């Protein structure tokens, strides 16, 4: 039914549609409809389950950060068949983000431009929402960033604050320094700045664990708009600093090859199909530099099981969708997982882990 519903939804403002979707998921949770959603959209199969960074993932298809910014509906999203859900990006203090309109569909390109600007209700409020995170029954990732008004020289304080407040309430954490929608944030990807930031975050992590907290993996989300040398420096630094994995990639500033002429000039990060090949290339390069020593979550332009399989064979242990869900609807995780099993049967693969990096080795 989604193609029919989508025709109506795509006549509405995309951010309004997002809020309506969150409201419906909240209602489903309140009415106890999670079990019904699981029956409709679940796709449990042990061949797709894996342990990555010491965490059990029931399937490799996750929902990327940006949808559930305040950790309001992660249980409902898990019921849609996702193997994990990443909430955020979360900053220490609440902030409204950039002015609307700030979300644009490029239907001809199966893409979205967003310049949301880390709009969220702040770490303390999100902590309250995450009290029940274990009952999602899938891993919950927490994506953290800095407030817009915080200068880069003080950015580490913001990331440390988020980590301290939220550390007990998620399964893994993501350092987001790659969004293009917070002024100067990407400057933190410069090697010396990033080294200082990661070191401060790792010190805070060690301090929390010394005080009795369970150890949690910390990942780094990288931008696609980097030269090979800069990406190599970042990967080397991630290994040196003991990070647990890489998410590749965030949205792009590039507008190359777009068919849409009405909103393609809007400022913000571009996601969706135009990012697919670029993110896959980075996944393959990162995998070739790290092998299986630094797990990769692949993001960018995933709409189908074939897209996901390509990312996995390039080196991604897990994948995430967001724009794909806008265009394909709530059954996207189930459809991808079903197709992954078909592709595995075609290739004589008995477990999804056998496909990881197959095209990059």
Instruction: Note the pLDDT tens digit of each residue in 88-136.
Output: 999 999 999 999 999 999 999 999 999 999 999 999 999 999 999 988 8
Find residue 135's DSSP bridge partners. Answer: none
**Which residues lie below 8 Å from residue 155, measured CB to CB, with a gap of 6+?**
146, 188, 197
pLDDT at 33: 65
Residue 202's pLDDT is what?
Answer: 97
Indicate if the pLDDT at residue 293 is higher than 90: no
**Across residues 332-347, what is the average pLDDT?**
98
For residues 302-321, give the mean pLDDT: 98
Burial class (CB in 10 A: 0-12, 13-18, 19+), 326: buried
List 43, 50, 178, 179, catalytic entry: 179
Return all residues near 273 (Cβ < 8 A) that are at least 6 apart. Answer: 109, 110, 111, 301, 303, 323
Instruction: Fill in the DSSP letter of residue 42.
Output: -
Domains annotated on the chain, with CATH: 2-355 (3.20.20.70)
How many CB atoms are located within 10 Å of the residue 40 CB? Answer: 14
Q: Is 301 helix (H, G, I), strand (E, B) or coil?
A: coil
Position 2 scores a pLDDT of 85
**Residue 65 CA, distance from chain mean position:** 4
Average pLDDT, the chain: 94
pLDDT tier at 361, thresholds 50, 70, 90: confident
User: 111 near 60, Cβ under 8 Å?
Assistant: no
- Please enumerate in sequence order all residues whose Cβ is within 8 A of that of 303, keeping only pairs 6 or more positions apart, or say none: 110, 273, 321, 324, 327, 328, 332
Task: Judge whether residue 326 has pLDDT over 90.
Answer: yes
Name the H helices within the chain: 2-9, 14-30, 34-41, 74-79, 123-129, 155-166, 191-210, 228-240, 276-290, 305-314, 323-328, 332-347
317 is known as an active-site residue = no
The pLDDT assigned to 30 comes to 79
Q: How many CB atoms lie within 10 A of CB 53?
A: 19
* Cα–Cα distance measured from residue 261 to residue 244, given in angstroms and rounded to the nearest whole number: 40
> Confidence class of residue 1 from pLDDT cuts 50, 70 and 90?
confident
pLDDT > 80? residue 32 = no
Higher pLDDT, 4 or 114: 114
Mean pLDDT value across residues 212-218: 95
The label of the residue with tokens 């940006």 reads 66
Average pLDDT over residues 208-223: 95
Would residue 143 be called left, alpha or beta, if left means φ above 0 and alpha means ψ between -120 and 50 degrees?
Answer: beta
Above 70 in pLDDT, residue 178? yes
Q: What pLDDT score was predicted for residue 46?
A: 96
Distances (CA, A) of 224 to 27, 123, 219: 37, 27, 16
Quick check: 206 pLDDT over 80?
A: yes
Q: Out of 35-44, 69-78, 137-146, 246-255, which region has the weakest mean confidence (pLDDT)?
A: 35-44
The reported pLDDT for the residue numbered 34 is 67
Q: What's the average model confidence in pLDDT over 245-265?
A: 94
Q: Give the CB-side neighbour count of residue 171, counting CA atoms within 13 A.
A: 21
């Amino acid at each position: 039914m989604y193609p029919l519903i989508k025709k109506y939804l795509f006549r509405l403002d995309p951010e309004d549609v997002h809020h309506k979707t969150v409201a419906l998921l909240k209602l489903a949770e309140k009415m106890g409809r999670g079990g019904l959603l699981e029956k409709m959209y679940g796709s449990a199969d042990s061949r797709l389950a894996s342990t990555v960074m010491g965490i059990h993932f029931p399937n490799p298809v996750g929902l990327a950060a940006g949808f559930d910014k305040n950790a309001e509906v992660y249980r409902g999203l898990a019921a849609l068949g996702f193997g994990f859900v990443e909430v955020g990006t979360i900053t220490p203090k609440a902030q409204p983000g950039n002015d609307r309109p700030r979300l644009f569909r490029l239907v001809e390109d199966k893409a979205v431009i967003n310049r949301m600007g880390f709009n969220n209700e702040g770490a303390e409020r999100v902590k309250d929402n995450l009290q029940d995170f274990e009952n999602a029954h899938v891993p919950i990732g927490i994506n953290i960033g800095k407030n817009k008004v915080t200068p880069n020289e003080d950015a580490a304080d913001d990331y440390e604050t988020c980590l301290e407040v939220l550390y007990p309430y998620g399964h893994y954490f993501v350092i987001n320094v790659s969004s293009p929608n917070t002024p100067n944030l990407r400057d933190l990807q410069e090697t010396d700045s990033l080294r200082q930031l990661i070191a401060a975050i790792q010190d805070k992590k060690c301090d929390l664990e010394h005080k009795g907290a369970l150890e949690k993996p910390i990942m780094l989300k990288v931008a696609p708009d980097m030269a090979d040398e800069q990406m190599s420096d970042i990967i080397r630094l991630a290994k040196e600093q003991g990070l647990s994995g890489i998410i590749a990639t965030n949205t792009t500033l590039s507008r190359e090859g777009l068919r849409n002429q009405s909103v393609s000039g809007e400022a913000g990060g571009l996601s969706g199909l135009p990012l697919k090949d670029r993110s896959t290339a980075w996944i393959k390069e990162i995998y070739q530099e790290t092998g299986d020593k630094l797990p990769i979550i692949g993001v960018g332009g995933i709409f189908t099981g074939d897209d996901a399989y390509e990312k996995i064979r390039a080196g991604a242990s897990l994948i995430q969708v967001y724009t794909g869900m806008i265009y394909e609807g709530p059954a996207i995780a189930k459809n991808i997982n079903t197709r992954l099993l078909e592709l595995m049967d075609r290739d004589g693969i008995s477990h999804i882990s056998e496909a990881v990096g197959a095209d990059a080795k």
